[in-house]
Amino acid sequence: MGFDIGKKAIKIDDRTAYRIVNTWRELYLKWKVEYAPEEEKEEVVAQEIKEKKDVRIPKIITVKAFSAKIDTPINELMRILMKNGILASLNDNIDFESAAIISDDLGWRVLPEEDSVELDTGSAETIEETRKSSANLEPRPPVIVVMGHVDHGKTRILDAIRKTNVMEGEAGGITQHIGAYQVEKNGREITFIDTPGHEAFTAMRSRGAKVADIAIIVVAADDGIQPQTREVVDIVTAAKLPFVVAINKMDKPEADAERVKRELAELNLTPEDWGGKTICVPVAAKTGEGIDGLLDTILLVADMEKENIVADAGGKTVASVIESNISKNEGVVATILVQNGTLRINDYLKIGNVLYGRARRMENWKGEDLKEAGPSVPVRILGLKLAPEVGDVLVSTDSIKGLEKDVKKTVGQRPAALAYESFPGDEKGEREILNIILKTDVLGSAEAVMGSLGQFKHPKLGIKVIHYGLGNIIEADIDRAGASRAVVYGFNVRLDSQVEELARDKEVEVHTFQIIYDLLDSIKKKLEAMLSQEMIRIDLGKLKVLANFKQDKNEQIIGGKILEGRVINNVRFDVLRQNVKIDNGEIIQLQAGKQDVSEAVEPSDCGLKIKVGQVIREGDILMVYKEEGKEQEVKL
């Protein structure tokens, strides 16, 4: 039936037994269908169909409403949900797929409601289709995405371009959230998307590349191409973006631009001055040297791509979500990049068929209020009722007819798209699982942490994010963690004294961080603490027994000659008799020349007091060794 328990097993582990019990009905029916005689198979299938009752539910439904739909007591339903690894309270939402699994066990077949809302996140195709259908396409400011290794100076380059210092005050000296900025060069505007430098933000960088026209790949002249640089190159080439390589830190004595070019050539990115097509611009962000040349090069590449860098300012308004969060004082706040049309104050915005609210207030990257924003303009908007996710495509709409009903169904009910388990295929339950509850300030941070969890690798361990959410850590998070024995991790969020006290009472671990790689390092240490030490045997020496002077119930005193290596006190040994191991024991006292010593070496004689089960005879060999614990590491 698909459970590997071994041919000679007389016992199976609790987890496997539990799964067999809970899936027995389904397993037995499948077994009968496969192995029963032909005349019985139709009867089995007919019985299965007859037993199932149909019920229609929406894509998202509360536990309470689902309980009423399938006529099952709420306590019984919550118990079954918990058995299936779904921790949900009375008013929590579960998605259609989860409901289908649960209802199948209860004899129901769930079907989608005919008028249920299909949540659509929009797509990059929406933007391209809108542009292609526009009749009045005109040039727009190019959108530049800046990428690079964590310490190669990407933020300093942006800092030099903007002539402001955004790096001060940023935790860890790296950009924690995607931002967007505009500058002017030669009377032309250029939009920059600043993606975080740490490797944890791979997913956000990927989405940044999709909304950009040109990429700047930053490489330090004193460090060359790094693994993260190769990752960036893969992202940019996959997005088919034209790009410029900025060779930074040229002011350093050890700077070697030629080395960088050689390494680029090894990646099939041959520099222009070597006869290739890869444009390389030497810069020194610290001194500002080469920054003007970099901007000129960007405008030159933009001119070469001018047929693609167009939009219709008077056409349909579509925008990509660069960042999204929920503020205690301002509600839902989203940073978006307008990609076609013009967004105006009080415009309605939707994603797919769902109305997300109105742009009741707009600010540019300087915090100045705007009344409208055209193509390639990044803006921060307030007034949405739902929090979009990074990479969603917002579309403006004049008519909200037919969308109001959808808003009522979907506010607060968007399913979690980031649920993560790091142990797919672990059907035998051989891994020890770390349950995590994750709270972050913005969706982009949650996405970044989820993306990074996949980097933890160990055959005996797994990670399961049982819940994630935005905002500060609250009592419900502690209750959920206590019920599931989970660790709560917070990124750029707080917990008040009342919540902290509840965590102490329930013995729930809570850790908050402002630097994402500190959070990941904490998870790594927690995983390593779950592993027992790996004991390593170190062979020390070989001793031949010459005499057995005294035998007590638990101890013996013997004398011998060290044939190889050394013998030290308080270590273990194996007893060999005629080259066959017969026992093992422990040295509890060592003497040489009637004096207690800690060590004796070849070829000296020594006396030993030992603990061993067998009576030691003359001619026996003791193979002396010690054991050391080695901490097992979790790879990241």
Top pLDDT among 565 and 170 is at 565
Confidence (pLDDT) at 117: 39
Confidence (pLDDT) at 116: 41
Q: How far is CA 588 from the centre of its chain?
A: 50
Q: How many residues are recorded in the chain?
A: 636
Confidence (pLDDT) at 74: 77
Token pair of 599 as six digits: 């060590």
Q: Return the top range by mean pLDDT from 14-28, 58-72, 120-134.
A: 58-72
Could you read off the pLDDT of 532-557 as tens digits, one per residue? 656 788 999 999 999 999 988 789 99
Q: Indicate the domain borders of the chain.
A: 14-112, 141-308, 313-400, 432-529, 534-630
Helix (H) or strand (E) holding 20: helix 14-35
Q: Are 141-308 and 432-529 in the same CATH fold? A: yes
Helix (H) or strand (E) holding 189: strand 188-194
Predicted model pTM: 0.55
CB neighbour class for 561 (10 Å; exposed up to 12, middle 13-18, buried from 19): middle
**Among 128-142, 346-360, 473-487, where is mean pLDDT lowest?**
128-142
CATH architecture of 313-400: Beta Barrel (2.40)
CATH architecture of 141-308: 3-Layer(aba) Sandwich (3.40)
Confidence (pLDDT) at 227: 80
Taking residues 374-402, report their average pLDDT: 84
Taking residues 111-118, report their average pLDDT: 54
**CATH of 534-630 among 2.40.30.10, 3.20.20.140, 2.40.100.10, 1.10.20.140:** 2.40.30.10
Confidence (pLDDT) at 164: 47
CB atoms within 10 A of CB 457: 10
Could you read off the pLDDT of 458-473 as tens digits, one per residue? 777 888 888 877 778 8
Based on C-alpha coordinates, what's the Rg of the chain? 33
**Among 45-59, 97-111, 194-208, 422-436, where is mean pLDDT lowest?**
194-208
Token pair of 277 as six digits: 């097509």
DSSP calls for 384-451:
ESS---TT-EEEEES--TTTHHHHHHHTT-PPPS---BS-TT-TT--SEEEEEEEEESBHHHHHHHHH
With H, G, I as helix, E, B as strand and everything else as coil, classify residue 570: coil
Confidence (pLDDT) at 199: 44
Pairing verdict, β 555-568 and 138-139: unpaired
Collect all residues with Cβ–Cβ distance below 8 Å to 14 and sequence separation of at least 6.
none
Query: Predicted confidence band at 76 (pLDDT cuts at 50, 70, 90)?
Result: confident
Token pair of 442 as six digits: 């913005």
Could you read off the pLDDT of 296-308 as tens digits, one per residue? 999 999 999 999 8
Q: What percent of the chain has pLDDT over 90?
A: 34
Three-state secondary structure of 503-547: HHHCCCCEEEECCHHHHHHHHHHHHHHCCCCEEEEEEEEEEEEEE
Q: Considering the chain, what is the average pLDDT of its residues?
A: 79
Q: How far apart are CA 443 and CA 240, in angstroms?
A: 26
CB 602 within 8 A of CB 563: yes
Q: Which amino acid is at 246?
A: A
Bridge partners (DSSP) of residue 278 are: 271
Tokens 């960036």 locate to: 232
Taking CA 308 as the corner, what is the angle to CA 304 and CA 312, rounded to the nearest 5 degrees? 130
Does CATH number 1.10.10.60 belong to domain 432-529? no
**Measured CA distances, 210 to 127, 189, 203, 391 (Å):** 11, 20, 11, 9
CB 154 within 8 A of CB 197: yes
Q: Which amino acid is at 496?
A: D
Region class of 182: left (phi > 0), else alpha (psi between -120 and 50), else beta: beta
Confidence (pLDDT) at 153: 81
Q: How far apart are CA 318 and CA 211, in angstroms?
A: 12
Query: Predicted confidence band at 200 (pLDDT cuts at 50, 70, 90)?
Result: very low
Collect all residues with Cβ–Cβ distance below 8 Å to 244 and sequence separation of at least 6.
214, 215, 216, 217, 279, 280, 281, 294, 297, 298, 301
Taking CA 131 as the corner, what is the angle to CA 126 and CA 132, rounded to the nearest 5 degrees? 100
Q: How far apart are CA 176 and CA 276, in angstroms?
A: 35
Token pair of 478 as six digits: 């502690």
Q: How far is CA 438 from the centre of its chain?
A: 11
Nearest of 307, 366, 370 to residue 338 by alpha carbon = 370
Could you read off the pLDDT of 340-384 as tens digits, one per residue? 999 999 999 988 777 888 999 999 888 889 999 999 999 999 988
End-to-end CA distance of the chain: 36
